[in-house]
Each structure stands twice: as structure tokens, then as C-alpha cells.
């Protein structure tokens, strides 16, 4: 699943659990695994997919970073929870940028194998990914705004 979608879910979790960042991180990891079990976009793991995947990954990575800035920036009073939720929700996907930029994967082999095994990917599901991103980012933005108003 696109990392931008994991950012949206992690931010929403982080708002709801902002007083307990460790729990927000753990719930973020759980959300990542649950979302990756759902049908989502992906390309066959063959060498011919590398370049098309990289094109999507660049855009997704930039969108994810922008989403982090837009959601965590105004989350005064909630920020540690929001960032913890986002960190938990995205940490399992660190393998892709780590391999690309540093040529190494810091994820333990057993975790990586499990993460790859649960994927339900198909190349025709990009539209769903974009719709899910819009929904999750909208929801998390509303939760950040509401959460800030509820603070003392």
C-alpha cells in the first residue's frame, strides 16, 4: 500500500492516542499490517517492474512527506502522538528507501519475509489507493483540527 495511506492512518491513530505515544506507535505498526492485508496497488516483483515502481515510489514518498508536514505541523499539543503513530505506521516500509539510497535493508529478514507474504497487490488498484489516501488524509486532518480544539 502507498506510504501516503499509511501516513494518514498513523496520523489519525496518533491523534486518538496522543497521550500515549508508545501505544500510538504500536497501533501504527498494527494498522500497517492490517492495511497491507487488504487488496491494494502493487506491481509484480520482477525486474521489469523496477522503473515503473520507482516512478510511483518517488511521487508517493514526496506526497507522504508533505502529508507528514501538513498533519504534524499544526498538531500542537498532539504532535508527539501524531508523529509516533506515523512512525509506527510507516516503519515497515523503510526497506524501500533504505535499499534505494543506501543499498541495504535494515529490516530483519524474518520481518521482511512476513511483510512481503501478507501483501495482496495488483497493478489495476491505483484508483482505490488514491481514493483511500484522500479519505484517510481528510479524516486525519479533521481529527487533528478537532483534537487541537479539545485541548485545554
In angstroms, the Cα distances linking 70 to 11, 75, 104, 138, 139 are 11, 9, 30, 11, 13
Strands 120-122 and 39-41, by their bridges, are parallel
Q: Please identify, using beta-carbon distances, which residue of 15 and 92 lies nearer to Zn ion.
A: 92
CB of 146 to Zn ion, least distance (A): 28
**Residue 129 is a binding residue for Zn ion (CB under 5 A):** no
Closest CB 40 distance from Zn ion, rounded Å: 9
C-alpha cell at 121: 497487490
Closer Cβ to Zn ion, 31 or 140, answer by number: 31
Binding residue count for Zn ion, defined by CB under 5 A: 3
What one-character DSSP code corresponds to residue 45? S
Grid coordinates belonging to 18: 496522543
Tell me the residue length of the chain: 152
In angstroms, what is the minimal distance from the CB of 150 to Zn ion? 31
By CB under 5 A, the residues from 63 to 92 that bind Zn ion are 92
- Of all residues in the shown chain, the one whose CB is closest to Zn ion is 36
Considering only 4, 12, 16, 36, the residue that binds Zn ion (CB under 5 A) is: 36
Q: What residue ranges in the chain does DSSP mark as E strands? A: 39-41, 120-122
Which positions touch Zn ion (CB under 5 A)?
36, 92-93
Amino acid at each position: 500500500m502507498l506510504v501516503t495511506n499509511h501516513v494518514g492512518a498513523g496520523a489519525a491513530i496518533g491523534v486518538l492516542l496522543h497521550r500515549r505515544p508508545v501505544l500510538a506507535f504500536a497501533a501504527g505498526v498494527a494498522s500497517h499490517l492490517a492495511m497491507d492485508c487488504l487488496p491494494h496497488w502493487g506491481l509484480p516483483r520482477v525486474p521489469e517492474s523496477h522503473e515503473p515502481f520507482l516512478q510511483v515510489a518517488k511521487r508517493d514518498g514526496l506526497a507522504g512527506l508533505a502529508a507528514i508536514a501538513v498533519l504534524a505541523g499544526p498538531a500542537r499539543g498532539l504532535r508527539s502522538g501524531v508523529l509516533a503513530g506515523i512512525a509506527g505506521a510507516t516503519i515497515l516500509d523503510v526497506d524501500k528507501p533504505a535499499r534505494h539510497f543506501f543499498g541495504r535493508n535494515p529490516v530483519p529478514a524474518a520481518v521482511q519475509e512476513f511483510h512481503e507474504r501478507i501483501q495482496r497487490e495488483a497493478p489495476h488498484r491505483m484508483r482505490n489507493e488514491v481514493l483511500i489516501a484522500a479519505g484517510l488524509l481528510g479524516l486525519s486532518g479533521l481529527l487533528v483540527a478537532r483534537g487541537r480544539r479539545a485541548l485545554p
